Amino acid sequence: MKCNSFELKRKNFKPYKVRVLFIGESPPANGTFFYCGNSNLARYTKEGFEIVFGDLGDMSEFLRFFQKKGCYLVDLCSKPINRLGKSERNKQRNRGVENLSSIIEELKPERIVVVMKGIKRQVKRALGAKALKFDIEKYSLPFPAFGHQKRYLEGLAGFVKEFRNNGIFDDC
User: C-alpha angle 46/100/19, rounded to 5°?
Assistant: 45
Q: Write the pLDDT tens digit of every residue in 126-166.
A: 988 555 466 688 899 999 999 999 999 999 999 999 999 99
**Is the model's pTM score more than 0.85?**
yes
In this structure, is residue 25 part of a structural domain? no
Instruction: Give the domain extent around 107.
Output: 37-165
* Number of domains forming the structure of the chain: 1
Classify 37 as helix, strand or coil. coil
In this structure, is residue 26 part of a structural domain? no
Q: How confident is the model at residue 1 (pLDDT cuts 50, 70, 90)?
A: very low
pLDDT at 30 over 50: yes
In this structure, is residue 11 part of a structural domain? no
Q: Write the pLDDT tens digit of every residue in 62-113.
A: 999 999 999 999 999 989 999 999 999 999 999 999 999 999 999 999 999 9
**56 vs 115: CA distance, rounded Å:** 21
60: CATH:
3.40.470.10
Task: Classify the C-alpha dihedral 160-34-81-93 as positive or negative.
Answer: negative
In this structure, is residue 22 part of a structural domain? no
